[in-house]
Structure 1
Amino acid sequence: MSTPTDSPEPVSRRTFLHRTGAGAVLLAGGALAGGTAAAAPAAARGTVPARGIAPADLDPLALLKKMLAFDTQNHGDGGITRPHAEMLKGVWESAGVPAEIVPTPKKDNVHLIARIKGTGSAAPLLLLGHSDVVPVERDKWSVDPFAGVVKDGEVYGRGSLDMKGANAAFVTALLRHVKEGARFDRDIIVLTDCDEESGPYGSGWLAEHHWDKIDAGMVLTEGGWFLAQKDRETPMLITVTRQDKVYFNLDLVADGTATHSSKPSPGSAVATLSRAVAAIDTWLAPVALTPVTREYFGALAKATDDGAFRRALELMLSARSQAARERAAALVVKRSSYPWLHRALLRTTHAFVIEDAGYKENVIPSTATLRLNCRGIPGGQRPRDFVAQLRERLHGRDVTVKVAGEAGESEEDVLKRLDAKSAAPPSSIDSPLYSAVRAAAGKTYPDAVFAPALFEAGTSLSPWTSRGVPGYGVYPYVLDNDQLITMHGTDERIGVAALQQGTEFMYRLFDAFRVR
């Protein structure tokens, strides 16, 4: 997860500074053969054989461990995904499912497309799962991030949550149907794409050059969270996302006098920028409830067994003034077992992500720049209004707020583009895929509440949703908050039992498309 491919292109630190100055198959109930930490470097180099995998015996944990062994880190300009794709291609072909590797202009950065042929009585269903992952800070991990270590009932690894774990559940659930000789009422396309975590050759590039291979009537990807009660285990709320937040970047730029470092000045660019950062560090944009988020928080109120949290939610939803809504929202975040998630779903967010100042230790720099990554709520506060509010907040602090865009775009061009995204409707809840997700949730998690939701991040769905194709998201495993916040962070992990149950959820979802 997760950067929309049609958003202003995310940048690596290097680019930002320039611009601104079978062996590892686990039989269900059996034992692991291979797949140790020692095998991980070989797998990452693509030297582990891709053939000879018995797909009928694949367990989601085994497949996930194989996926995690491949180092597909994306530092901002795409990853090396071919070895991972070759392995997965072998899995599909061993099951009799044709799969094709689609190269991109970057060497060894590829897409993989598998297609299970159906009766053709309906437009294809496409499963979208990215193979690239964000970089790791190895020295901060407690385990090897590419070894698929299982510890205390959790499987650790970069991508275990986002989103190789979801991919493992998608694929093994489908392979179970294939083993049973299932016939589906439509083709099922499984796209394992690259450059989702930024880069020029993601799903947008694929749609532009190979739309015939991925043309579908419905799409399912990463997104909706499966949340637990306060005990961190009991399923509470099962969601499917039908809309992503609006992604945009801003740059804060401070200027000062460049001079010798022996004569420091309180008006330096770095000090000016630091004071501006302090002014907006804890500042929050206004709460904006939309029909999508109101339904979500209403479902959360029904789902929780925490009475104080429920009352806070009900108070927020019934508030008649913005001031009352803000007070109640603060209480909701305080009471929530998932405070970072719920704060993000309430408003436009801004995060400090990349800072640039200075080039030599004996020179006080003339310019300091900080990038803010922002996520707006569709149908809520418009990005242009957030920018205006931020500028007002920083008025008189000698800092310029610049709207980052693509090459050649004016600020107004960017804001108009963001206006259009903010006004785009969510995917319909009147589709066979949405119905299948809801039915599978009811069968797999009968005591939990089901609801559509807003995704606080972004996905690669734009090539389809921009064409009117409904797109949805699920991460099919129940998570507690400690696991949730490891996404893009240290010691990323999911529960092994949750992965198994999530795979059963996916199996029941696909069952809706079987021909009887």
Structure 2
Amino acid sequence: MHATPDETPDRTADRPTGDDHATTGRLPRRAFLGGVGVAVLGVATAGGAGAFQRTSPPSTGMSGAAIPAADMDPLDLLKRMLSFDTQNSGQGGKTRPHAEMLKAVWERAGVTAEIIDTPQPDNVHLLARIPGQGSEKPLLILGHSDVVPVEEENWDVDPFAGEVVDGEIYGRGALDMKGANSAMISALLRHLDEGATFDRDIIVLTDCDEEAGSYGSGWLAENHWDKIDAGCVLTEGGWFLAQSDKTTPMLITATRQDNVYFNIDIVAKGTATHSSKPMPDDSAIVTLSRALTTLGEWEARVELTDVTREYFRALADATTNRDFAKVIRLMLKAKSQPSRERAAALVVKHSDYPYLHRALLRTTHAFVIQEAGYKENVIPSEATTRVNCRGIPGGEKPRDFLAAVRKLLADKEVEVVLAGNPGESEEQALARLDTTWATPPADIDTDLWRALESAAEETYEGTPFAPALFEAGTSLGPWREKGVPGYGVYPYVLSNEQLIGMHGNNERIYVEALQQGSDYMYDVFGAMRV
């Protein structure tokens, strides 16, 4: 087992430094078209990082001193981020050492950075602010520092070593979302190294408790809103998808809306008795298992919204797989629910990202936690499974999904319970979810959205760009509640296997894609230079 947060070892002592890394020029604009199985960015697979090579004469950061090349190298920076164990098992993580490392990075660039303590020891936020001319409200870059726990025994490499193997960098958080943080921060540092001034302040918030906990962005907004008040926010979200070869960019997306997060519990009861005399017809565990089998074989109905329709239209135009494009268009043209369901099944079947595209078509339900029993010689009287659900805003309402599950399991002798907030009645929880479900997508008539789009055209020449729905959730809630537009990108091209590694084992991204993602973010921020 890995060390608990309070016992987290300091893994930074052996991290590589910028002096160990070779430098290369900027990637070709069009794409990385393979070659990820060998040396990447001039990096041997032994694990050295490919440092950013300046494309203009060295300048100075805001401090007047040259910014270290290693800090502008997204791979070097990501390796350092990954070396910190910031696992969050549900009650926050230990993020202070990670924050102190990043604070030093910002200070070397002459940028003021502040660690914001929370009531939980060593669980902190880091806030850096790059002053601009103030002609626009600030842009806030939102990236979380905590990561989900690892099953270390199921990894092929140390999840906190940032090891590069066959052109991919492995580590917990490599995808979600230290990789994105590295791409964005290194891009900003490149601008500062060139002496750039922006038309607005840029706030970079590396927050804690995004994966769970009491002191995340909501707590920060309640206690320090003046520090994070912004006109637009950019965080994790949109996927950069590849063609069937797993590397050539197919579709660049930015998300303007998150799915609706809620949980239900499936509860079965039975007779508690001695385990030497089992009662198969009165077993809570057996009853629950039968209900879960039924629920596991069922899917919610397909629902297309304006946001997801636009996404799938763009996907049909972007793919080189003609069969995939054909079934997408069939789904979009379907006039009846049965024909839409049949076409949607074919979309998932033909997709190189089947689990992603299934999740964008309907409310999903995933079995995540199971509880039953407390002693091996006692048959328990109750068994419960937590089901995590993600609903599509403007699609099927959570209350309708709940009703459908109850109807499905009506004869299974189980109770279906909506797991609301503490002290919240079911109707109060449903009303809250109704409000979230009805929240409109972020306005895309903004300069930040236009920068995201134009940067895609520049960095991934010839690759379509489209708005999308994020099938998961982010920390954007406090800003969305105030009507502040918020968007999301994971700025690197991913294969389906890498996408599955998110919150799973052997999480990793392509080194070359990370570098190109940093180039993309450089172009995004370049639109705000004066």
Moved over 2 A (4+): 22-28, 52-58
> What is the CA–CA distance in structure 1 between the aligned matches of 2:66 and 2:352, rounded to whole Å?
41
Counterpart of 1:40 in structure 2 is none
Counterpart of 1:464 in structure 2 is 479
CA contact (8 A) 1:249 1:373 kept: yes
1:29 is aligned, of 23, 33, 41, to 23
Amino acid at match of 1:485: I
Aligned-partner SS, 2:352: coil
2:372 is aligned, of 337, 357, 373, to 357
CA contact (8 A) 1:338 1:481 kept: yes
Distance change in 2, residues 1:416/1:214 (3 Å): same
> What is the CA–CA distance in structure 2 between the aligned matches of 1:423 and 1:111, rounded to whole Å?
30
CA contact (8 A) 1:235 1:447 kept: no
Shift of 1:407: 1.1
Counterpart of 1:134 in structure 2 is 148
1:439 is aligned, of 454, 462, 472, to 454
CA contact (8 A) 2:70 2:77 kept: no
Amino acid at match of 1:308: D
1:304 is aligned, of 319, 329, 333, to 319
Shift of 1:55: 3.5
CA contact (8 A) 1:253 1:367 kept: yes
1:259 is aligned, of 259, 268, 273, to 273
Counterpart of 1:8 in structure 2 is none
Shift of 1:371: 0.2
> What is the CA–CA distance in structure 2 between the aligned matches of 1:364 and 1:303, rounded to whole Å?
55
Distance change in 2, residues 1:57/1:355 (3 Å): closer
Aligned-partner SS, 2:17: coil
Q: Residue by residue, what CA displacement relative to the aligned partner does 1:191-236 show, whole Å, maximum 9, x if unpaired?
A: 0000000000000000000000000000000000000000111100
Shift of 1:53: 10
The equivalences for 1:295-444 within 5 A come to: 295-444=310-459
CA contact (8 A) 1:254 1:367 kept: yes
Counterpart of 2:306 in structure 1 is 291
CA contact (8 A) 1:28 1:57 kept: no
The equivalences for 1:229-248 within 5 A come to: 229-248=243-262
Counterpart of 1:190 in structure 2 is 204
Q: Residue by residue, what CA displacement relative to the aligned partner does 1:400-444 show, whole Å, maximum 9, x if unpaired?
A: 000001111000000000001001100011011100000000101
Shift of 1:496: 0.3
Counterpart of 1:82 in structure 2 is 96
Counterpart of 1:495 in structure 2 is 510
Distance change in 2, residues 1:169/1:432 (3 Å): same
Q: Residue by residue, what CA displacement relative to the aligned partner does 1:91-148 show, whole Å, maximum 9, x if unpaired?
A: 0000001100000000000000000000011100000000000000000000000000
- The answer to whether the aligner puts 1:112 opposite 2:126 as a matched pair is yes
Q: Residue by residue, what CA displacement relative to the aligned partner does 1:309-335 show, whole Å, maximum 9, x if unpaired?
A: 000000000000000000000000000
Amino acid at match of 2:17: A
TM-score, normalised on structure 2? 0.89
Counterpart of 1:479 in structure 2 is 494
> What is the CA–CA distance in structure 1 between the aligned matches of 2:335 and 2:502, rounded to whole Å?
35
Shift of 1:505: 0.2
Shift of 1:29: 1.1
For structure 2, the 5+ residue unaligned runs are: 1-14, 25-41, 49-64
> What is the CA–CA distance in structure 2 between the aligned matches of 1:216 and 1:27, rounded to whole Å?
37
> What is the CA–CA distance in structure 2 between the aligned matches of 1:55 and 1:367, rounded to whole Å?
59
Q: Residue by residue, what CA displacement relative to the aligned partner does 1:39-69 show, whole Å, maximum 9, x if unpaired?
A: xxxxxxxxxxxxx995444310000000000
2:226 is aligned, of 206, 212, 220, to 212
> What is the CA–CA distance in structure 1 between the aligned matches of 2:16 and 2:344, rounded to whole Å?
50
Amino acid at match of 2:23: G
- The answer to whether the aligner puts 1:70 opposite 2:84 as a matched pair is yes
Counterpart of 1:509 in structure 2 is 524
> What is the CA–CA distance in structure 2 between the aligned matches of 1:113 and 1:282, rounded to whole Å?
46
Distance change in 2, residues 1:343/1:36 (3 Å): closer
> What is the CA–CA distance in structure 2 between the aligned matches of 1:36 and 1:427, rounded to whole Å?
40
For structure 1, the 5+ residue unaligned runs are: 1-21, 38-51
- The answer to whether the aligner puts 1:159 opposite 2:168 as a matched pair is no
> What is the CA–CA distance in structure 2 between the aligned matches of 1:337 and 1:28, rounded to whole Å?
34
CA contact (8 A) 1:56 1:179 kept: no
Shift of 1:23: 5.5
Q: Residue by residue, what CA displacement relative to the aligned partner does 1:165-200 show, whole Å, maximum 9, x if unpaired?
A: 000000000000000000000000000000000000
CA contact (8 A) 1:119 1:184 kept: yes
> What is the CA–CA distance in structure 2 between the aligned matches of 1:284 and 1:57, rounded to whole Å?
48
> What is the CA–CA distance in structure 1 between the aligned matches of 2:67 and 2:128, rounded to whole Å?
17
- The answer to whether the aligner puts 1:178 opposite 2:181 as a matched pair is no
CA contact (8 A) 1:285 1:347 kept: yes
Amino acid at match of 1:146: F
Counterpart of 2:60 in structure 1 is none
Shift of 1:28: 5.7
Shift of 1:446: 1.3
Amino acid at match of 1:327: R
Shift of 1:24: 2.7
> What is the CA–CA distance in structure 2 between the aligned matches of 1:55 and 1:134, rounded to whole Å?
31
> What is the CA–CA distance in structure 1 between the aligned matches of 2:443 and 2:68, rounded to whole Å?
34
TM-score, normalised on structure 1? 0.91
CA contact (8 A) 2:265 2:387 kept: yes
Aligned residues: 478
Q: Residue by residue, what CA displacement relative to the aligned partner does 1:338-373 show, whole Å, maximum 9, x if unpaired?
A: 000000000000000000000111111000000000
Identity in percent: 67
Amino acid at match of 2:308: T
Aligned-partner SS, 1:29: strand
Distance change in 2, residues 1:53/1:90 (3 Å): farther
> What is the CA–CA distance in structure 1 between the aligned matches of 2:424 and 2:212, rounded to whole Å?
19
Distance change in 2, residues 1:398/1:220 (3 Å): same
2:183 is aligned, of 165, 169, 175, to 169
